[in-house]
Structure formats: C-alpha cells, structure tokens
Amino acid sequence: MQIDVVTLFPDFFQTPLQASILARATRSGLLSVNAHNPRDFATDKHQSVDDEPYGGGGGMVLKPEPLFALWKARKLEKAHCIYLTADGEKLDHRLSVELSLQEHLVLLCGHYKGVDERVRTRLIDREVSIGDYVLTGGEPAALVLIDAVVRLVPGVLGNFSSALEDSFQDALLDCPWYTRPAEFNGESVPQVLQSGDHQRVQQWRRKQALRKTYERRPDLLDKADLDDNEKKQLSQWEREGLE
C-alpha cells in the first residue's frame, strides 16, 4: 500500500512510522509512506499556504493553489484522497477494512479553520473524522487512520484473520484479561479462567464484554450480534438498574 500524506509538518510522522508494526510493514515492502509539504508549492517569498476566508469570520483557511499544484506535481489525482476533518465520516472498523483494500491513499491534514471548498469538491474523495473532538491539526488523525488501516493489509500482521476479527468482538468492548500469577496484590484470577474448560471461559469472557459495553458504551449494543440469552441478560441488568 502506498500512502501520501499532505501536511505542513512532515517531521510529525518520522518517529511513529519507524516503530513497531508500521516499521516492519515498511521494511517488508508492504507499506510506503511519503509526506509532502504544501509550502513547497507556494509561489510567494513567504511560502504562504493560508489566507483569510471570503466574507470574514476570523481565522485562516488553506489556499487552493499550493494544494492543486502539489496534487498535479506528485500525480495524486488517481489515488483515493481523504481529508481529515472533524465533520467527516466517523472512522470505524468497517471503514478501516474498506480503506485497506485501496492500493494508494492520500491523506490531507487540515489546519486553521479548514481548507478552501474547491479543494474539498475537486481533489477529495472522502472526508474522515476519528472522533467527535477538535485537534490542533490533522496529523494525529492521519496517524490513527494509517495504523488502523495498515494492520489490515494482508501480511502486515502474523494472523490476518485475527486482524479482521478485531472488530470490538461483534461491536462489544473487550473483556478483562489476566496473566500469571493467579494471585497478585491481594486479587485473584477468576476461577473459571483457571478451570481449563474453554467453553466456560469463552462464555465468561463474552458476558464480561457484554457487561462492560452495557456500562460504558451502550450505543454499541445496537450493532452487536446478541443471542436470546444475552438479550435477556441485558433486560435483567436494566431491571436491576446496573450501573
């Protein structure tokens, strides 16, 4: 997979891309990431890439001229181009899988008040947000997207099927996990996990994940694949006022 990142701060990506899974994917030839600075395509002596928006309103907006010139010079028109913005489509596992099927992604990192609308309508195929909050720029969002997508590229992780299955356990949060020793700091590992009964263990983990989701992210339950017993369990917790 080839990823081109359009950013005012190319150095932001150097260290993260040289560590862990992303570094291994790069060394193995499964990933290539290049960063491009729009300032390199500005035409004035100050390398200006922003300007005041028409109609006022305060703040600055990324200008179209440097970005259009960059797209043309780097031949980015045929790639799947994404603008990282707070008002974009929410990044989730489904979208990550979809984007992992692309051979070439371009990520435009927003700054200031945003970007000239002509860039959004002419150069961008998709607008993506990593959450309902505002960042200082699109660079952290771009790194999150890269990590979420690249791990799904076949060969990046040792167990590809496991990567595909890491989808909030059918939209549920993860269960508690324990390692050895069985007792530590006055707390013991639940007996069911020490039983050796894999079916009971899986049932316990599923119930704990269901409970955590009910407590912390009940909105995910609308997308979860629940059986009749799990639905009854939810009804019981609702009656008991579980918090």
Strands 61-62 and 50-51: antiparallel
Question: And the tokens for 64?
Answer: 């179209």
CATH code, domain with 126: 3.40.1280.10
Question: And the tokens for 86?
Answer: 């707070």
> Do 131 and 199 share a domain, yes or no?
no
> Do 208 and 109 share a domain, yes or no?
no
Q: Which of 122, 140, 162 is the last residue of a domain?
A: 162
> Do 36 and 156 share a domain, yes or no?
yes
Confidence check: pLDDT of 41 > 60? yes
Q: Which of 134, 162, 190 is the last residue of a domain?
A: 162
> Do 120 and 205 share a domain, yes or no?
no
The pLDDT of residue 166 is: 57
Q: Which pLDDT band, with edges at 50, 70 and 90, does 58 fall under?
A: confident
Q: What are phi and psi of 3, to 5 degrees?
A: -130, 125
> Do 101 and 140 share a domain, yes or no?
yes
> Do 144 and 202 share a domain, yes or no?
no
> Do 8 and 93 share a domain, yes or no?
yes
> Do 143 and 187 share a domain, yes or no?
no
Confidence check: pLDDT of 59 > 90? no
The pLDDT of residue 193 is: 92
> Do 86 and 156 share a domain, yes or no?
yes
CATH code, domain with 212: 1.10.1270.20
Interval 224-238 mean pLDDT:
93
Confidence check: pLDDT of 200 > 60? yes
Q: How many angstroms separate the Cα of 145 from the Cα of each of 3, 36, 65, 74, 82? A: 11, 17, 26, 21, 10
Number of domains present in the structure of the chain: 2
Interval 134-160 mean pLDDT:
91
Exposure string for 109-131, b = 16+ CB within 10 A, e = fewer: bbbeebbbeebbeebbeebbbbe
> Do 10 and 99 share a domain, yes or no?
yes
Q: Which of 137, 162, 187 is the last residue of a domain?
A: 162
The pLDDT of residue 18 is: 94
Q: Which long-range contacts (CB under 8 A, 24 or more apart) does 210-219 make?
A: 210/172, 210/234, 211/237, 211/242, 212/172, 212/173, 212/174, 212/175, 212/176, 213/171, 213/172, 213/173, 214/242, 215/242, 215/243, 216/173, 217/173
> Do 44 and 94 share a domain, yes or no?
yes
What residues make up the domain containing 41? 2-162
Which residues are CB-neighbours of 231 under 8 A, at least 6 positions away?
none
Question: And the tokens for 102?
Answer: 């692309």
Interval 171-192 mean pLDDT:
87
Mean pLDDT of the chain: 90
> Do 121 and 137 share a domain, yes or no?
yes
